[in-house]
Structure 1
Amino acid sequence: MILGIPYPELAMLAVALLAAGAVTGILAGVFGVGGGAVIVPVLYELFTLLGVPEEARMPFCVGTSLAVIIPTSIRSFNAHRAKGMVDMSIVKIWAVPVVIGVLAGGVIARYAPADVFKAVFVIVAGLSAFRLLLGKDSWKLADDMPGNLIMRLYGLVIGVLSALMGIGGGQLSSLFMTFYGRPIHQAVATSSGLGVLISIPGAIGYIYAGWPKAAEFPDVAALQPPLALGYVSLIGFLLFVPTSIWTAPVGARLAHSLPKRKLEILFGLFLATVCLRFVLSFF
Structure 2
Amino acid sequence: MTSFDPSTIALLVAIAAGAGVFGGILAGLLGVGGGIVIVPALYFALSLTGIDPALTIQIAVGTSLATIVFTSLSSSWGHYKKGALDMTLLKKWAPSILIGVVIGGLLGGVVSGYILVAVFAVVAGVVALDMIFRKPRTDPEPKTFSNMIWAALGVFAGGVSAMMGIGGGTVCVPVLSFLGYDIRKAVGTSAAIGFLIGVPGALIYAATGFGQAGLPPFSIGYVNLVAAAIIIPLSTTFARVGVRIAHAIPQRALKLSFGVFLLLTSARMFSDLLGN
Bin of the TM-score, shorter chain as denominator length: 0.7 to 0.9
- Picking from 248, 269, 274, the partner of 1:275 is 269
Match of 2:17 in 1: 21
Does structure 1 conserve the Cα–Cα contact (< 8 Å) formed by 2:101 and 2:162? yes
Asked if 1:236 is matched to 2:236, the reply is no
Q: How does 1:139-158 map to 2 (within 5 A)?
A: 144-158=143-157
Supply the AA of the counterpart residue of 2:216.
Q
Q: Once the 2 structures are TM-superposed, how far is the Cα of residue 115 of structure 1 from its aligned partner?
A: 3.7
Instruction: Describe the shift of the 1:124–1:167 C-alpha distance in structure 2 as closer, same or farther (beyond 3 A).
Output: farther
Shift of 1:134: 5.0
Instruction: Note the C-alpha offset of 1:123.
Output: 4.6
C-alpha deviation, 1:68, in angstroms: 1.1
Structure 2: distance between partners of 1:151 and 1:157:
10
Matching residue's letter, 1:236: A
Kindly state the Cα deviation for residue 183 of structure 1 after the two structures are TM-superposed: 0.8
Q: Which stretches in structure 2 are left out of the alignment for 5+ residues?
A: none
State how far apart, in whole Å, the 2-side matches of 1:173 and 1:197 are.
13
CA distance in 2, matches of 1:117, 1:51: 25
Q: Residue type matched to 1:224 in 2?
A: P
Query: What secondary structure sits across from 1:238 in the alignment?
Result: helix
Q: Quote the offset at 1:46 in angstroms.
A: 1.4
**RMSD after superposition:** 3.6
Deviations 1:85-105 (A, max 9, x none): 221111111111111111111
Distance in 1 (CA, whole Å) between partners of 2:87 and 2:20 is 30
Cα distance between partner residues in 1 of 2:240 and 2:4: 33
Contact 2:20 2:232 in 1 (8 A): no
CA 1:7 to 1:86, structure 2 compared with 1: closer, same or farther past 3 Å? Answer: closer
| CA apart distance, 1:112 | 3.9
- Counterpart secondary structure, 1:154: helix
What is the one-letter code of the residue matched to 2:16? A
Amino acid at match of 2:147: N
Taking a change above 3 Å as real, the CA distance of residues 24 and 193 of structure 1, as seen in their structure-2 partners, is closer
Count of matched residue positions in the alignment of Structure 1 and Structure 2: 270
**Change beyond 3 A, Cα 1:123–1:108:** farther
Give SS of 2:167's match.
coil
Shift of the 57–77 alpha-carbon distance from structure 1 to 2, 3 Å rule, reads same
C-alpha deviations, 1:126-185, integer Å up to 9, x for none? 4454445555536xxx85232211111111111100101111111211111111111101
Q: 1:117–1:144: structure 2 CA closer, same or farther, 3 Å change rule? A: closer
Percent identity among equivalent residues? 33
TM-score normalized with structure 2 length? 0.80
Where structure 1 has 5 or more consecutive residues not aligned to the other structure, the ranges are: 218-222
